Structure 1
Amino acid sequence: MSERTERSEGREGMPGQRAMTEKKIVRPYGDTTGDGMVQVSFTLPVPHDKRAEGAAVQLANKMGIDPAMLVHAKQMGDGFTFFVVYGRVNHLVDLDKVQVVERDFPLLSAKEVNTVVKQKMRRKLSVVGACIGTDAHTVGIDAILNVKGIAGEKGLEYYRELKVTNLGAQVSVPELVEAARREKADAVLVSQVVTQRDAHLHNTREMSAAFREAMPAGKRPLLIVGGPRFDETMTGELGVDRIFGRGTTPGEVASYLVHALITEKKARA
């Protein structure tokens, strides 16, 4: 199989105009283009010795890394060793078969969000946010909700037409449902950072099931979850309306709320 598929456009126009090339099949790049070199890290539950290093190389070989070079090994407490392995893989990536969730709504400024909400809803858009279960990592939810925001972009509290209720960390699902009902929430935002034993998935399923049981379909708020380990394609499986991954900004969330609650709703009417 060729490493790339080339598409040549018409050569009309300026003499010597170069044909455009679009890569469709790619492989990893390390030292030279197309050399297939990758670097992976992992931990094995074994003390650091020569056998442990051999086990790391064997695992890398089974992952398709061949030859595999062990470039780092360090004992991590009693009975655990951390490894970094560098080597070549022969796998190719077909860009045409990559599945991602593309943003299907326009990015709006804070002023535009406020204007649309004021004109179309004629009331403040109510948002309730929390970290649920035992998750105590509020950095993500605070970055989206708190006025200070993140990376110079203001959070949703800055939007004058949004009413924001931040419940903080370690909120139980029943407490979240009750708060959403009390605040007449249009949207519920949940941040999940803790992922051990798929806790973020279990918590999200529990939350969506609780809202389905507590509120009829037409009365439920938008259910939105975010965190660095979520797969954005799992909305249907988890029973939520939207999943946001790492790097999400307050502006993206605000723009989605306007799209889902106003623009898309009006289009369906």
Structure 2
Amino acid sequence: MKVRPYGDTTGDGMVQTSFTLPVPAGKRADGAALQLAAAMGLDPAMLVHARPVGAGHTFFVVYGRVRHLVDLDAVRVTARDYPLLSAAAVNAAVRRRLRRKLTVVGACIGTDAHTVGIDAILNLKGVAGEKGLECYRELSVTNLGAQVPIADLVEAAAGADAVLVSQVVTQRDAHLHNVRELAAAFRTRPGRRPLLIVGGPRFDETMAADLGVDRIFGRGTTPREVASYLVHRLAA
């Protein structure tokens, strides 16, 4: 099945995009923005917003029609392949299979100081009406916080069942480099490797094997999804 973008009417192909050019605001900058939009395939392209961003840079929003189609049959995503359990079911499964608490260590690694995501999954308050993993009676959770060196996380996770890492900063692919370094550190550490789970809004969920981790969670992930995945892997 193939579809086109929707703007004003069904299938009209209208899209909106934004970008910054290293050009001072003015008519020359506006022309440069429209030239770029045309090169991107927007025809006709309309400049709907332009604003200076510091000295010598301008931010633009352009609107226009594209002729590209989206082939829905060719879209590949990582679908949830495990049941979504209640907190009670998660606790019961951990008691039945482990006969001890399941230990989870979480952190933001490298220079990343954005703890909103990891806090939403781990902390008691949770997110979107769901309590975090600290609320699960059979889970022992340690949240190391922000800007945690990878070596410190590896040491803190000795004996843990799962390690959860959140990465938001993506400049120069810092999130990918950090996760690959994390996976390598756990590979070289003696002993059993814990489950490595990564989350963040800019990850491609299909890249888990490439990055050397067990699972990647993207935008909108809830604590219940993560807890259910832990039980699923525990059963496996």
Q: In which range does the TM-score fall when normalised by the shorter chain? A: over 0.9
Q: Distance in 2 between matches of 1:81 and 1:242?
A: 39
Q: Distance in 2 between matches of 1:45 and 1:246?
A: 31
Q: Which residue of 1 aligns with 2:225?
A: 252
Residue 138 (str. 1) matches residue 115 (str. 2): yes
Q: Which residue of 2 aligns with 1:53?
A: 30
Query: Deviation at 1:111?
Result: 0.6
Residue 193 (str. 1) matches residue 168 (str. 2): yes
Question: Which amino acid in structure 1 is aligned with residue 157 of structure 2?
Answer: A
Q: Which runs of 5+ in 1 are unaligned?
A: 1-23
Question: Which amino acid in structure 1 is aligned with residue 138 of structure 2?
Answer: E
Q: Distance in 1 between matches of 2:24 and 2:213?
A: 42
Report Cα offsets for 1:97-143 as digits up to 9, x if no partner: 00111111110010110010011111100000000000011110000
Report Cα offsets for 1:186-239 as digits up to 9, x if no partner: 0000000111111100100000000001135xx100001000000111111110
Q: Distance in 2 between matches of 1:68 and 1:171?
A: 45
Question: Which of 136, 159, 174 matches 1:159?
Answer: 136
Query: Deviation at 1:44?
Result: 1.1
Question: Which amino acid in structure 1 is aligned with residue 170 of structure 2?
Answer: T
Report Cα offsets for 1:9-49 as digits up to 9, x if no partner: xxxxxxxxxxxxxxx11000111111000000111111111
Q: Distance in 1 between matches of 2:188 and 2:114?
A: 27
Q: Which residue of 2 aligns with 1:236?
A: 209
Q: Which residue of 1 aligns with 2:197?
A: 224
Q: Which residue of 1 aligns with 2:42?
A: 65
Q: SS where residue 185 of structure 1 aligns?
A: coil
Count of residue correspondences: 236
Residue 96 (str. 1) matches residue 69 (str. 2): no
Q: Distance in 2 between matches of 1:92 and 1:83?
A: 25
Q: Which residue of 1 aligns with 2:13?
A: 36
Q: Distance in 2 between matches of 1:82 and 1:254?
A: 41
RMSD over aligned Cα atoms: 0.7
Q: Distance in 2 between matches of 1:65 and 1:207?
A: 41
Percent identity, aligned pairs only? 77
Question: Which amino acid in structure 2 is aligned with residue 101 of structure 1?
Answer: T
Residue 213 (str. 1) matches residue 151 (str. 2): no
Report Cα offsets for 1:67-98 as digits up to 9, x if no partner: 10000000011111110000000000111000
Q: SS where residue 129 of structure 1 aligns?
A: strand
Structure-2-length-normalised TM-score: 0.98
Question: Which of 75, 100, 103 matches 1:123?
Answer: 100
Query: Deviation at 1:261?
Result: 1.8
After TM superposition, which residue ranges in structure 1, 4 or more long, deviate above 3 angstroms?
A: none
Q: Distance in 2 between matches of 1:215 and 1:102?
A: 32
Question: Which of 177, 180, 185 matches 2:157?
Answer: 180
Q: Which residue of 1 aligns with 2:148?
A: 171
Question: Which amino acid in structure 2 is aligned with residue 204 of structure 1?
Answer: V
Question: Which amino acid in structure 1 is aligned with residue 156 of structure 2?
Answer: A
Q: Which has the larger radius of gyration?
A: 1
